[in-house]
Chains A and B, each alone.
Chain A
Amino acid sequence: MRYFFVTKGPMTKSSGDRSKLEIVLTVNNKVVKVRAHAMDRLLDVVRQELGLTGTKEGCGEGECGSCSVLMDGVLVNSCLIPVLQAKGTKIVTIEGLAANGRVCALRDAFLDCGGAQCGICTPGMILAAFHLLKKKPKPTAEEIREGLSGNLCRCTGYAQIVEAVMEAARRGVAT
């Protein structure tokens, strides 16, 4: 047994399976039942169990916001949420927003204003922008900068992201 001491090896797998829990949550308006360890990250459950790979992992420590999802309407870093904490909650990922016609306007504003370059921050940015516009349908540039400050972007320098959110607000995304 070459992999005997390796945590993810075959010997630990069965005991690992036994300690998994059945967790029911609503993801993008669909009730789903997943089997996972209590401390598995919501990020991994969403990406690997549910196959919703639009949610990205950036830093994995809650600094960059790439893995942002909405949990009961609150913007959270899914890398910091143990899946048990998400039990019974309503999760919205970027795929859920994409199915919402109004959010397509937010996406279009990002496209028109150059709000995306490499794209890894974009799903989180759009969720953060949507969350901001829900609270403040007509934000100032400063409010946008503050509202998106939990989402890091290396490419754009944020200027065109701020423009995109302004433009989306003008087009009435959240109203």
Chain B
Amino acid sequence: MTTYGVSVDDFVALQEVGKVLHPVLAKGQIVGGIAQAIGFALYEKVLWENGRMLNGQMTNYIMPTSADLPSIRVYFEEMGNVHGAFGAKGIGELPIDGPAPAIINAVGDALGVSFDAIPLLPEDIFDALEKHAGTACATSSSRRGQ
């Protein structure tokens, strides 16, 4: 709790994809989407000024490196899809949807403060906890009365 930094230690994904046609490529799509989503959740903040991106360089727009990511375990649910080839569905965009909300909610669960925006940077957590501590003090007397 000294740095307010968040790291993801483990990630389990269960994805319903219709039918897995190529296990290696399918897993690669899922893991890649999760890695991007972890970046969106914890690192990648776009700063705008007058319609232009201020931090449009790899130096100041931080995306995860191999050292920032956990091992990602992927499981498939294959329920088939009557409309897809051999029961398949598109999977390229699916895995990026769930992880950011899951990570933000996990941080919220751990800290007892809820967050509703990504990316969740250490300064955002610091601010939220400061604010939470402030309101907790202000309402402590009324709570005691209940």
Interface residues of A (CB under 8 A from B): 58-59, 61, 63-64, 112-114, 117, 141, 144-146, 148-162
Contacts and interface: CB of A to CB of B under 8 A. Distances in A.
B89 interface: no
Residue from B33, B34, B67 whose CB has the most chain A CB atoms within 10 Å: B67
B57 A59 contact: yes
Contacts of A157: 28, 31-36, 69, 72
B25 interface: yes
Contacts of A58: 58
Given A149-B65, A154-B63, A159 B57 contact: no
Contacts of B24: 112-114, 160
Interface in B15-70: 24-25, 27-28, 31-36, 57-59, 63, 65-69
B58 A63 contact: yes
A152 B68 CA distance: 11
A11 B111 CA distance: 65
B131 to A, nearest CB: 34
Nearest to B22: A114
Contacts of A145: 66-67, 69
A166 to B, nearest CB: 12
Given A155-B32, A160-B31, A148 B25 contact: no
A157 B58 CA distance: 17
Contact of A114 (B28, B59, B72): B28
B15 to A, nearest CB: 13
B31 A156 contact: yes
B95 to A, nearest CB: 9
B58 A149 contact: no
Given A158-B35, A159-B31, A141 B63 contact: no
B81 interface: no
